[in-house]
């Protein structure tokens, strides 16, 4: 079982993905971190030096590779859905969860983050609104499940995802950490 997370930068894909992978007892991969390890530099540096098209080529190759593997949770970069090949690959090879966050919510989380190349603009909130308008339909096209992130805790988001996966028959007999498994 491969679970992929898509959504805007700052929607919680990495944070939620790590906890979800622990809950499912499967490895976690963040496609952006895999790319940085291979490049030996930050995505921002590569983006500045080589441009977005070159980065998207590399991202597509990494996503194709990671979705061919064993069971895992995969957090994708916010722009991974911009390429049709990535959308198809993710949708056909994994169960895709869209962590849907409003531009305002993402801005609140990211307003001090200087490591997001697409947000290093004069009006980052407007940039997020533009990204949302462009990408929301693509995230929805790719996703099997949509989870509204709002302000729930990470563990609540993981529980919501687990419930969706259980209802869909992807995982069985999901126990929350508080459930007692002793037979009486």
Place of tokens 């805007």: 8
Binding residue ranges for Mg(2+)? 14
Instruction: Report which of 42, 125, 31 is spatially closest to residue 72, judged by C-alpha positions.
Output: 31
Beta partners for residue 75, in sequence order = 5, 30
Instruction: Report which of 51, 47, 80 is spatially closest to residue 63, judged by C-alpha positions.
Output: 80
Question: Which tokens sit at 83?
Answer: 């390429």
Question: Which tokens sit at 106?
Answer: 């993402």
Binding residue ranges for substrate? 32, 56, 78, 135
First to last CA, the chain: 32
Binding residue ranges? 10-15, 32, 56, 78, 116, 135
Radius of gyration of the chain (CA): 17
Binding residue ranges for ATP? 10-15, 116
């Amino acid at each position: 079982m491969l679970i992929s997370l898509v959504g805007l930068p700052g929607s919680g894909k990495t944070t939620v993905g790590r906890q979800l992978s622990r809950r499912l007892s499967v490895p976690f991969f963040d496609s952006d971190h895999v790319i940085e390890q291979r490049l030996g530099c930050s995505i921002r540096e590569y983006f500045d030096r080589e441009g977005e098209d070159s980065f998207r080529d590399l991202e597509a190759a990494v996503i194709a590779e990671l979705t061919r593997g064993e069971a895992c949770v995969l957090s994708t970069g916010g722009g991974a859905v911009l390429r049709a090949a990535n959308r198809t690959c993710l949708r056909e090879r994994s169960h895709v969860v869209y962590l849907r966050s409003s531009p305002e919510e993402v801005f609140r989380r990211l307003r001090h983050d200087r490591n997001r190349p697409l947000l290093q603009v004069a009006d980052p909130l407007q940039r997020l609104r533009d990204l949302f308008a462009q990408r929301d339909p693509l995230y929805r096209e790719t996703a099997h499940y949509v989870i509204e992130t709002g302000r729930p805790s990470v563990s609540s988001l993981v529980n919501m995802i687990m419930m969706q996966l259980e209802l869909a028959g992807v995982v069985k007999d999901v126990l929350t950490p508080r459930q007692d498994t002793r037979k009486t």
